[in-house]
């Protein structure tokens, strides 16, 4: 148990991060009360471990001793409850990043960092109440910590009952930048209707992005005639848009012990791992139809699908369909075919790429109609969408 990172909360309110007995960092939990529940959020991304207490980031540790590894949850002599435990490829590079704002109201649960705290519902950031009497301009900016290919920004309006959608700007721009000085406008909207709960999605051609800025130039008055700009969450997506996204399929063997699970189609593992082989349909006839689909989480500009076959020795390429189509959809029910192959040769371990004219879609699926190698499973190690 002592060959990894250990995040521990002691009964004096101190959180420690240890590596093999060495203290890498510690911090006090604000307002700690012994004997009451303390809510901590621990995130490991690359070589960075962060610990949040509520919406406040209290500790960041950077270390490179373990590039890969497993996860264990333990308690030591005290009650603990773990929920929302996820081991996923990064789907939202904005989460937990640094936020700067034109102004901020800090109170009643509103706080600027809450716009990247991973909570899409409820409230988040609000512009200041000191300047709400007249319509004006407000902005919010997120620094992702490094540039990466992005093609989508998702804005989540506040969603707190009857106030849902209030504070979402009427006229605004979404801008992106690789360096914080040269900006590209990714989206411009005017007269944007008051949204309901859920992501408002703004796709754009893939760009190298470190900074995201949303500028509201025409704010929506609330029921008292006051002008705020408010957002519950800002998210970003890009690169492989399918990473970590939910998968549905015509059928699935769901063999946990052998690593054949629907979720393993988008888990980021392209080649065979003992715990992650990919997705496998049930067996059947060679000419039946099987399919697997991924929901990208919102309208996205897509132009290429990469399919990775299983790659475990002599079975490499088995289960990759011989006859299939790649299809895209806005709504998950009406589909457009963007690639068709028949008699496709059994592939090796490298990505099989299928490019097409860029199209806006939320759902992507692969439909196999001809299957090799009795008993004719349809199998893929990974599905990637760009």
Residue ranges that bind Ca ion, judged by CB under 5 A: 114, 117, 119, 124, 232-233, 264, 267, 269, 278, 381-382
What single string gives the DSSP state of each residue in 264-303?
GGSSS--S-BTTB-BEEPPP--TTS-EEEEEEEEEEEEEE
As a 3-state breakdown, the chain gives helix, strand, coil percent values, each rounded to 5, of 5, 45, 50
What single string gives the DSSP state of each residue in 167-232?
T--SEEEEEEESSSSSEEEEEEESSPPPP-SS-EEEEEEEEEEEEEEEEEEEPPB-TTS-B--EES
Q: How far is the CB of 198 from Ca ion (least distance, A)?
A: 13
Q: How far is the CB of 288 from Ca ion (least distance, A)?
A: 23
Q: How far is the CB of 268 from Ca ion (least distance, A)?
A: 7
Q: How far is the CB of 139 from Ca ion (least distance, A)?
A: 18
Residue number with CB closer to Ca ion (117 or 290): 117
Residue number with CB closer to Ca ion (61 or 264): 264
Half-sphere exposure of 63 (CA within 13 A, CB side): 19
Q: How far is the CB of 260 from Ca ion (least distance, A)?
A: 10
Residue number with CB closer to Ca ion (17 or 230): 230
**Alpha-carbon distance 339 to 346, whole Å?**
17
Residue number with CB closer to Ca ion (117 or 154): 117
Q: Are 308 and 352 in contact (CB under 8 A)?
A: yes
Q: How far is the CB of 264 from Ca ion (least distance, A)?
A: 5
**Alpha-carbon distance 2 to 140, whole Å?**
42
Residue number with CB closer to Ca ion (110 or 324): 110
Burial code (b: 16+ CB inside 10 Å, e: under 16) for 9-33 equals beeebebbbbbeeeebbbbebeebe
Residue number with CB closer to Ca ion (10 or 39): 39
């Amino acid at each position: 148990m002592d060959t990894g990172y250990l995040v521990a909360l002691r009964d004096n309110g101190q959180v420690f991060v240890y590596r093999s007995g060495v203290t890498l960092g510690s911090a006090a939990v604000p307002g700690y009360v012994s004997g009451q529940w303390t809510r901590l959020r621990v995130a490991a991304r690359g070589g960075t471990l962060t610990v949040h207490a509520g919406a406040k980031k209290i500790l960041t540790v950077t270390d490179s001793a373990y590039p890969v590894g497993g996860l264990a949850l333990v308690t030591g002599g005290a009650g603990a409850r773990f929920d929302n435990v996820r081991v996923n490829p990064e789907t939202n590079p904005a989460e937990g990043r640094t936020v700067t704002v034109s102004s901020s109201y800090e109170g009643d649960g509103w706080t600027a960092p809450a716009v990247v705290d991973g909570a899409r519902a409820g409230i988040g950031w609000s512009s200041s109440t000191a300047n709400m009497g007249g319509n004006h301009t407000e902005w919010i900016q997120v620094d992702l910590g490094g540039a990466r290919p992005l093609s989508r920004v998702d804005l989540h309006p506040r969603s707190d009952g009857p106030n849902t959608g209030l504070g979402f700007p009427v006229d605004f721009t979404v801008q992106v930048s690789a360096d914080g000085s040269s900006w590209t406008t990714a989206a411009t909207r005017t007269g944007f209707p008051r949204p309901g709960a859920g992501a408002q999605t703004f796709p754009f051609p893939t760009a190298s992005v470190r900074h995201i800025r949303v500028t509201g130039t025409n704010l929506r008055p609330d029921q008292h005639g006051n002008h705020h700009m408010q957002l519950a969450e800002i998210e970003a997506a890009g690169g492989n848009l399918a990473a970590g996204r939910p998968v549905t399929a015509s059928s699935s063997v769901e063999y946990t012990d052998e690593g054949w699970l629907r979720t393993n189609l988008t888990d980021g593992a392209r080649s065979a791992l003992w715990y992650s082989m990919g997705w496998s349909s049930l067996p059947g006839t060679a000419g039946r139809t099987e399919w697997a689909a991924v929901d990208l989480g919102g309208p996205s500009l897509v132009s290429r699908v990469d399919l990775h076959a299983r790659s475990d020795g002599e079975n490499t390429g088995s289960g990759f369909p011989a006859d299939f189509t790649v299809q895209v959809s806005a709504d998950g029910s009406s589909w457009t075919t963007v690639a068709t192959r028949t008699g496709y040769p059994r592939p090796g371990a490298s990505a099989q790429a299928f490019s097409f004219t860029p199209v806006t879609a939320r759902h992507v699926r692969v439909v196999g109609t001809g299957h090799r190698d009795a008993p004719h499973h349809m199998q893929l190690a990974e599905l990637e969408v760009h």
